[in-house]
A and B are shown apart, each in its own frame.
Chain A
Amino acid sequence: MSLDRVGIIGIGQSEFRSRRDDASYPDLVREGVSRAMADAGLELDAVQAVVYSLSPDAMLGIGNAERLGVDAVGGRNKPFLRINTGGATGISSVAAAYYHVASGMFDVVMTAGADKIGECGDSQTVLNKIWDPSYERPLPLGTINMLAMSGVRYMQQYGMTEEDMALVTVKNRQHASLNPKAHLRKVVTVDEVMESRYISWPIKLLDCCPQSSGGAAIILASETFIRDNRLDAVWITGLSHTAETYWMGDRMGVNPTAEHSGAHALGRSFEKTYRQAGITDPAKQVHVAELYAPFSNTEFHAIDAARLVSKHGESIGRLRDGEFSIGGRIPVNPSGGTLCTNAIAVTAMARVAETALQVWGRAGAHQVKGAKLGIASGNGGDHQIFGTMVIEA
């Protein structure tokens, strides 16, 4: 841990939509970059290194598209590397940028990326290819049915119902209606969610995230640079990543090393992150949370893993009571979250960006009043690579 803190000094995000036919891929990357640079009030020359946020190539349809992104991030003559941890990519990229600064080797580092998932007609085909060709790919696995199976186990262990899942969508859509950058902003009712068609039982259409297009960028700087240049900042005070087994079938059965109903390694990652930030009782100390949850059911195990409740499964009743809505005890996904916007390469970066904006008091209509300490998470791979962060004013 560096003695000098690392701060966030600039944030840029697109208004996420299904498609952006007006913009090429580098145009979208540049959109996030130029907004973040303007937010930080810095010239591009001040950025000393770039961490590029890009998840599976096939989703975008351009092999190693970070090459195409070099120009859009002003990467010429600068250290440049790509990060890919699947759905966690965006938070992993912020973490990598953090380590650049915390090492003392750089004062100002940018992370940026974009995605155009709305252009991919076969996203579950692409995601089926994340399974190994030896044993699992012959099955019709995709991320939806992988997390449907997590939901089935969560139902069995903690009594979650399909109505409970619908309440997550209702809450997040309500939140997204206040956030002009969110993709799905139409409020929905429990009945509308319940009446939407089954995709992969128990997940229905309105329990699913959309396929979004847009860009995002975050600029990080050392405390010394921030102080010397009298910049405004919020601070990353804890961060971690934790992985667990690739094999989904090892997360069930006899004495599993992790449990597929939950997000075991996400819990481990939060433990380490809280310890670093000096948080001993997250349910009391956290004011706002942006937790990666692409399907309604997965928000419950994310809340459990973040220990915003005292035991696994307690999130169900607490959500029913409105504790995770804006105005509730700890608003979860006040931006609308991944459930309302999913441009995969930058989705977990948006979790960090939104948490930072909240503790900065700059979130706009979806601002959580008085939020000074927030948490963010990202989930990637075969529900197996998790990144977490604490951000404070």
Chain B
Amino acid sequence: MELLGRQEVWNITYDHALGETASWFYTRIRDEAAIYGRRCAKTGRVLVPPRSFSDETLLPTTDWVKVGPAGRIEAFTMVYEKFNNLPEPPYAFGFVLLDGADTAIGGYFRGVDLTDPAVAAETLAIGTRVEAKFAAERTGAMLDFWFEVAG
């Protein structure tokens, strides 16, 4: 028999509040081109991206700590497949432990030739030193900065 279908598209708008901690973090990125983490007074861990409380102690974090802009790659991948509503491939991104931080923050890796995946994987190997770079025009967002291999 003839089987019928229906195409449906969900397009839903949200206006998310970021809260005090992320708001402070992003305004520093926008105004100072600097990345900050939050320290847990009890464990001493510096959480980046910053959170208002520590998941280990459930105590509020107590102070802001400037981290980076240099750091080391902790994880990476190069994406070669196109996914709807996600960036045009290829692109590389991953997680970086910024100097002074205890946890890693995500970001794009730019300035890497992704033509040959094996070569790119060597360039981005875990442990590679990188530096955060900031856009000249910043809006206070994650995409205001990215990482480049330190040279």
Interface residues of A (CB under 8 A from B): 21-22, 58, 61, 121-122, 124-125, 128, 133-136, 138-142, 145, 148-150, 152-153, 156, 197-203, 245, 247-250, 252-257, 260
Q: Which residue of B lies closest to A124 (CB)?
A: B83
Judge whether B65 is part of the interface by a CB distance below 8 angstroms.
no
Find B87's partner among A58, A140, A150 (CB 8 Å cutoff): A140
B79 touches A145 (CB 8 A): yes
A200 touches B77 (CB 8 A): yes
Provide the bound-state CA to CA distance between A316 and B116, in Å. 26
Find A21's partner among B3, B19, B83, B121 (CB 8 Å cutoff): B3
Find A249's partner among B22, B91, B104, B141 (CB 8 Å cutoff): B104
A252 touches B104 (CB 8 A): yes
Interface residues of B (CB under 8 A from A): 3, 5, 8, 10, 14, 16, 18-19, 22, 45, 47-49, 51, 55-56, 74-81, 83-87, 91, 93-95, 97, 101-108, 117, 120-121, 125-126, 141-143
CB-defined contacts of A142 to chain B, threshold 8 Å: 83, 86
Q: Which residue of B lies closest to A139 (CB)?
A: B106
A135 touches B142 (CB 8 A): yes
Provide the bound-state CA to CA distance between A297 and B101, in Å. 29
SS class of chain B's interface: helix, strand, loop or mixed? loop
Given known pairs A21-B3, A153-B126, A200-B77, the reply for A252 and B142 (CB within 8 Å) is: no
Given known pairs A153-B126, A260-B75, the reply for A139 and B83 (CB within 8 Å) is: no
Q: Which residue of B lies closest to A261 (CB)?
A: B75
A250 touches B76 (CB 8 A): no
Provide the bound-state CA to CA distance between A203 and B5, in Å. 33
A257 touches B75 (CB 8 A): no
B95 touches A149 (CB 8 A): yes
B85 touches A122 (CB 8 A): yes
Q: Other than the known A138-B141, A138-B143, A249-B104, what 11 A-B pairs have Cβ atoms closer than 8 Å? A: A61-B8, A122-B84, A122-B85, A134-B19, A134-B49, A142-B83, A149-B75, A152-B75, A198-B81, A249-B105, A255-B102
SS class of chain A's interface: helix, strand, loop or mixed? loop
B77 touches A152 (CB 8 A): yes
Provide the bound-state CA to CA distance between A133 and B49, in Å. 13
B94 touches A149 (CB 8 A): yes
A140 touches B56 (CB 8 A): no
CB-defined contacts of A245 to chain B, threshold 8 Å: 55
B78 touches A133 (CB 8 A): no
6 nearest interchain CB pairs? Answer: A249-B104, A149-B75, A252-B74, A138-B142, A148-B77, A198-B80
Given known pairs A250-B103, A253-B103, A253-B104, the reply for A201 and B3 (CB within 8 Å) is: no
Provide the bound-state CA to CA distance between A203 and B79, in Å. 9
CB-defined contacts of B84 to chain A, threshold 8 Å: 121-122, 124-125
B106 touches A249 (CB 8 A): yes
- For this complex, 5 residue pairs linking A to B, each with C-beta atoms less than 8 Å apart, are A133-B14, A140-B91, A197-B80, A249-B95, A254-B45
Q: Which residue of B lies closest to A134 (CB)?
A: B22
Min Cβ gap A159→B in Å is 13
Given known pairs A253-B74, A253-B97, the reply for A61 and B10 (CB within 8 Å) is: yes
CB-defined contacts of B16 to chain A, threshold 8 Å: 133-134
Provide the bound-state CA to CA distance between A93 and B137, in Å. 49
Find B76's partner among A136, A149, A198 (CB 8 Å cutoff): A149
Min Cβ gap A370→B in Å is 41
A253 touches B102 (CB 8 A): yes
Provide the bound-state CA to CA distance between A255 and B103, in Å. 9
Given known pairs A140-B93, A257-B56, the reply for A134 and B85 (CB within 8 Å) is: no
Provide the bound-state CA to CA distance between A58 and B91, in Å. 26
Min Cβ gap A134→B in Å is 4
Provide the bound-state CA to CA distance between A203 and B106, in Å. 19
B102 touches A200 (CB 8 A): no
B78 touches A200 (CB 8 A): yes
Q: Which residue of B lies closest to A153 (CB)?
A: B75
B80 touches A200 (CB 8 A): yes
Q: Which residue of B lies closest to A249 (CB)?
A: B104
B85 touches A125 (CB 8 A): yes
Q: Which residue of A lies closest to B26 (CB)?
A: A134
A152 touches B18 (CB 8 A): no
